[in-house]
Amino acid sequence: MSGRETAARIADLRRRLDDASHRYHVLDDPDIPDAEYDAMLRELDELEAAHPEFADPNSPTQRVGFAASGRFEPVAHAVPMLSLANAFTDEEVADFVARIEKETGDAAPRFSAEPKLDGLAISLRYEGGAFVRGATRGDGATGEDVSANLRTIKSIPLKLRGAAPEVLEVRGEVYMPRAGFEQYNARARELGDKPLANPRNGAAGSLRQLDSRITAQRPLAFYAYALGEVSGALPATHSEVLRWLRGLGFAVSPLVDVVEGTDGLLAYYRNVGAQRDELPYDIDGVVYKLDRFDQQRAMGFVSRAPRWAIAHKFPAQEAATTVESIEVNVGRTGAVTPWVLMAPVHVGGVNVTRATLHNADQVARLDVRKGDTIIVRRAGDVIPEVVRVIGERRPLDASGQPLHAPYQLPTHCPDCGSAVEREAGEVVARCTGGLVCPAQRKQALIHFASRRAIDIEGLGERFVDALVEFGYVHGIADLYRLTVEDLVEMKQRSDEAAGVVPETVKAGKVATRWAENLVAAIDASRSTTLERLLFALGIRDVGESTAKVLARHFGALAPLMAADEEALKDVPDVGPVVAARIAHFFAEPHNREAIAALQAAGMHWSEGAPQRAADGPLAGKTVVLTGGLAAMSRDEAGARLEALGAKVSGSVSRKTSLVVAGEAAGSKLAKARELGLEIWDEAALLAFLAAYA
């Protein structure tokens, strides 16, 4: 190959790789398979190694990073990177808008609204359309040159697409997607490395690595949201600038919107807040910017913040409190989970008094002790977790030693006294008591009655606790022997034990309607399906998807109960570990007795369910549903897809053929994008189903 041909081939490979990377990491619309991308990248790397005269710091091959640089050079920002004033209440937002209305004379000002990502602010400088330098915010006037690290982030364009100004400085946020954060930490734990504390710290720490090869291994992404120094004319509004930046190849948040007045801002805040826990990245509020640049100039700045923009913060998701005690909870599979009882603290919009510690390894890693000051985190309705201990606040005795010894997980179950054991290779320790243990019995009953299992409406945790504690229920079949009189008596005993006037006694007579409804709901649940029964039995590692596969593979309960491990390993998606657990469950006499007792109590289930359509349009394909659907429930959508031959799974992997993403789809959608999977929205799903109706 001549020098000219080599140069042309290198240029073509770079162009094609840049385009593929842009489609994958920015547009979420990949157009070539990973293998083809890898082959082109390998060819380009070999050509560049053989022809160093064609080296280019912005080549796709340079995203792997370089050896340690020694230190970061200071970078003076041509245009200061200012901070924003904060608003925490609706009234403060209204005051912000009123001030703008008064000073601009605009009775209906328009604002560009966007999520406030919880990452690290970055400035990117391009000259002649090529990336030349990237810097951290620093103190706003001077930051640090982290160009080598930023080059490894695939959603940051190294060459701009289309016509660009000679000088263009783009500001935005480097962040770590939640899915990438979880995957990174899972790998770190497997390798015995230290996991990252949270996505924001992970992003900040990744950009301050002196060895950019380490940064290249971190799952980082970038969203553009503002400009710094620019040569040449600009659009008239901020929202138009964001559209322009998209055209140049930058990722911009899809949640950006233009709204009008206070009502528009607050509606946007609440809409994004409702989606917060389902987003594939962390946010801590939203940002409002006056959309017209002429109005921004008229408003000007105060101190180091613009008067035309404000950050409307969400309630704090992390807070400090103190540990009052460390307790354990025993789950339905015997898992012994440590948790802290703590001084009440307001976090994530609610008051909380307890937080999970997950397992003994987590307790040891954090070294949480009674009396410690801890940081707790809460996301949505998820149980708060302990993030870290503030070591300098640990209480000490007179000799300067810690007042309390390190916490040790109990060796015997606090509920039944059975031994607590931890299998080799297991993270979780478990009570060995089985259904002898009241805690496991309660949790087994709650799971059995849950909506996606047998679905006994009205049988919640409070009633289950009382039924077990007062001896009305010893096993799941006992539910079907309960009478209205049993339930009323149980409720009265429960109220008396709590020292309150029995709620069941009203106006001098006993209220029984609730008990009649519960007995009717229990009676209605006697008829179910095999897959629901298998899920309800609480077999370890048998979730809804696996229960469905087992029901369809065996068709009836008897052959499944008779199957050995080898036969179970022939079931699609059932590996050796799960096969062993299923076989062990059905080999246990007390489990067989429990199933026989259910049958004796009149419970029955449909068997012989048909296999998926072997010749359907989705035969052999695995589909994952995520997010909310407007036209139908996810269960209904799953059933219709299965009727067309699909296997509907609850998790995304490289084996997934298709992901259907509804409203507020979260981490599963993010993972699908990372893997380059085919993704449908609800409209595409409905069109497909209509074609085969």
pLDDT tens digits for 463-472? 998 998 898 9
pLDDT tens digits for 660-671? 988 767 778 888
How far apart are alpha carbons 409 and 430 in whole angstroms? Answer: 11
pLDDT at 178 over 60: yes
Instruction: Choose among 485, 480, 583: nearest CA to 524.
Output: 480
Least confident residue range of 28-32, 80-84, 419-423, 592-596: 28-32
408 versus 63: the higher-pLDDT residue is 408
pLDDT of residue 505: 53
pLDDT tens digits for 3-36? 788 888 888 888 888 777 766 555 656 666 656 7
Length of the chain: 693
pLDDT at 251 over 90: yes
pLDDT at 288 over 90: yes
Bridge partners of 340, per DSSP, are: 326, 355
Q: How far is Cα of residue 282 from the mean position of the Cα atoms in its chain?
A: 9
Average pLDDT over residues 655-664: 86
3 state DSSP class of 50: helix
User: Across the chain, what does the average pLDDT equal?
Assistant: 85
35 versus 142: the higher-pLDDT residue is 142
Average pLDDT over residues 56-72: 63
pLDDT at 501 over 60: no
Residue type, 176: M
Residues 6+ apart with CB under 8 A from 357: 326, 337, 338, 339, 340, 363, 366, 368, 385, 386
pLDDT of residue 34: 57
In the DSSP assignment, the letter for residue 638 is H
pLDDT of residue 370: 94
Residue with tokens 């490395």: 193
How far apart are alpha carbons 411 and 433 in whole angstroms? Answer: 13
Residues 6+ apart with CB under 8 A from 457: 521
Residue type, 430: R
pLDDT of residue 399: 92
Residues 495, 504: contact at Cβ < 8 Å? yes
Instruction: Choose among 33, 217, 178: nearest CA to 670.
Output: 178
pLDDT at 611 over 60: no
Average pLDDT over residues 370-376: 93
pLDDT of residue 209: 83
pLDDT at 448 over 70: yes
Average pLDDT over residues 289-299: 94
Tell me what percent of the residues of the chain surpass a pLDDT of 90.
Answer: 38
What tokens were used for 570?
């022939």
pLDDT of residue 610: 44
How far apart are alpha carbons 622 and 642 in whole angstroms? Answer: 10
Q: Beta 305-306 vs 309-313: how paired, if at all?
A: unpaired
For residue 274, the number of C-alpha atoms closer than 13 Å in the C-beta half-sphere is 8
How far apart are alpha carbons 99 and 93 in whole angstroms? Answer: 10
Residues 641, 623: contact at Cβ < 8 Å? yes
At residue 248 the predicted structure's pLDDT band, cuts being 50, 70 and 90, is: very high
Q: What is the pTM of this model?
A: 0.48
pLDDT of residue 373: 94
Least confident residue range of 129-133, 448-452, 643-647: 643-647
Residues 452, 535: contact at Cβ < 8 Å? yes
**Integer angstrom CA distances of residue 683 from 271, 630, 678:** 22, 10, 14
Average pLDDT over residues 588-601: 88
3 state DSSP class of 79: coil
Average pLDDT over residues 411-438: 83
At residue 265 the predicted structure's pLDDT band, cuts being 50, 70 and 90, is: very high
Return the HEC string of 358-406.
Answer: CCHHHHHHHCCCCCCEEEEECCCCCCCEEEEECHHHCCECCCCCECCCC
**Integer angstrom CA distances of residue 66 from 1, 180, 284:** 29, 22, 33
Considering just the CA atoms, what is the radius of gyration of the chain in Å?
30
Q: Of the ranges 187-191, 277-281, 378-382, 568-572, which is most confident? A: 277-281
Instruction: Choose among 342, 407, 327: nearest CA to 378.
Output: 342
Residues 6+ apart with CB under 8 A from 269: 93, 286, 312
At residue 626 the predicted structure's pLDDT band, cuts being 50, 70 and 90, is: confident
How far apart are alpha carbons 103 and 106 in whole angstroms? Answer: 8
For residue 179, the number of C-alpha atoms closer than 13 Å in the C-beta half-sphere is 18
Q: At what angle do helices 199-207 and 178-191 cross, to 10 degrees?
A: 80
pLDDT of residue 351: 81
Burial class (CB in 10 A: 0-12, 13-18, 19+), 81: buried
How far apart are alpha carbons 113 and 95 in whole angstroms? Answer: 17
Average pLDDT over residues 149-168: 91
Instruction: Choose among 218, 212, 256: nearest CA to 57.
Output: 212
Average pLDDT over residues 424-441: 80
pLDDT tens digits for 306-355? 899 999 988 767 888 999 999 998 887 888 999 999 999 887 667 889 99
pLDDT of residue 326: 94
What tokens were used for 557?
């309960």
Q: How far is Cα of residue 379 from the mean position of the Cα atoms in its chain?
A: 10
| Domains of the chain with bracketed CATH | 3-62 (1.10.287.610), 86-313 (3.30.470.30), 318-393 (2.40.50.140), 434-525 (1.10.150.20), 528-606 (1.10.150.20), 622-691 (3.40.50.10190)
Least confident residue range of 203-212, 234-243, 548-557: 203-212
Bridge partners of 111, per DSSP, are: 259, 290
Dihedral, CA atoms, 669, 671, 677, 678, nearest 10 degrees? 0
Average pLDDT over residues 348-377: 87
Instruction: Choose among 151, 254, 146: nearest CA to 204.
Output: 146
pLDDT at 478 over 70: yes
**Integer angstrom CA distances of residue 603 from 313, 458, 523, 567, 642:** 52, 19, 9, 27, 27
pLDDT at 627 over 60: yes
Query: Which residue numbers are catalytic?
Result: 116
Tell me what percent of the residues of the chain surpass a pLDDT of 70.
Answer: 91
Backbone φ, ψ for residue 106 (5° rounding) = -95, 115
DSSP count for the chain of H helices, then E strands: 24, 28
pLDDT of residue 303: 59
**Integer angstrom CA distances of residue 80 from 66, 228, 587, 686:** 29, 8, 70, 49
Q: Of the ranges 71-80, 152-161, 301-310, 582-591, which is most confident? A: 152-161
pLDDT of residue 615: 67
The beta strand positions in 165-308, using DSSP E, are 167-175, 221-230, 257-260, 283-290, 301-302, 305-306
pLDDT at 142 over 70: yes
**Integer angstrom CA distances of residue 167 from 8, 123, 156, 232, 262:** 27, 13, 17, 8, 36
Residues 425, 485: contact at Cβ < 8 Å? no
For residue 445, the number of C-alpha atoms closer than 13 Å in the C-beta half-sphere is 29
Average pLDDT over residues 68-93: 82
